[in-house]
Amino acid sequence: MIAAALAYPMKTAIKPVVMCESFILVMLFHPFVRYNGHTFNLALVRYNAQAICRENMQTEIKVGDNLKRLRKEKGWSLDTAAKETGVSKAMLGQIERGESSPTVAKLWQIASGFNVSFSSFITTSSNNELTSLFRDANELRREEYNVGFFVSLLFPFEPALGFEIFELTLAPNYQHESEPHNRGVTEHILCISGEMAVLFDGQWHTLRAGQAVRFNANQTHGYKNIGKENAVFHDVIHYPGK
């Protein structure tokens, strides 16, 4: 039996979006939710009927270490990694040594070449044990090179679930385009606030708060803010066979 002691305003809508055995993932559409005396803003909760634990809200950014670890696991030299990812050997070496920090677009390119999730590069290895997590986007959010693109990794990739969840914020007029991911990868976009457009199948599709879309991500795709305020959305990325 699943139980949770969430106290929330009556207008808050909590809807399950993913189920895996006793685990339910819920998105909170109201900007504030209270739990155990704490207020969460634009937060996500994953819980089950077992004991609840908390995770440090500060995501550990260890891109270089993870890149080196993943490369060695595959038995790749820097030359091979450069060939598979399309990123130069020099840049990969700089990233591994912590001398260079890749953009989100570049990291996606590397992840696609390695055929791994995006979050594999920016979190520590999972212990494969699914626990209840409380994540606050405000504490996780970081700006991508001061260009008006903010990224919060809400839930890193878990092999048992096969997906990762981001909260993304676009400043007015900002546009971000991504290269195709590997075959079978799908993205689920839910607009939380503002007005935005999503590029897939060669066209831009408008989304407003509360609207959602799913598309195959093995194509050029993108997101842009077409409103006057920040556009905030959740991006659930699912990887096949993981």
Among 33-47, 114-128, 130-144, 205-219, name the most confident range. Answer: 205-219
Q: How much is the pTM?
A: 0.64
Name the more confident of 223 and 108: 223
Q: Which helix (H) or strand (E) holds 109?
A: helix 104-114
CATH 2.60.120.10 location in the chain: 136-241
CATH 1.10.260.40 location in the chain: 38-125
pLDDT over 80 at 128, yes or no:
no
Name the more confident of 224 and 123: 224
Q: What's the CATH superfamily of 136-241?
A: Jelly Rolls (2.60.120.10)
Cα distance between residue 120 and residue 135, in whole Å: 18
Q: What is the mean pLDDT of the chain?
A: 76
For domain 38-125, the CATH architecture is Orthogonal Bundle (1.10)
| Residues 6 or more apart in contact with residue 70 via CB below 8 angstroms | 114, 116, 120, 121
Band (pLDDT 50/70/90 cuts) for residue 170 is very high
The single-letter code of the amino acid at 140 is L
The per-residue b/e assignment along 13-24, b for 16 or more CB within 10 angstroms, e otherwise, is eeeeebeeeebb
Cα distance between residue 105 and residue 40, in whole Å: 29
pLDDT over 70 at 5, yes or no:
no
Distances (CA, A) of 59 to 68, 195, 201: 19, 28, 33
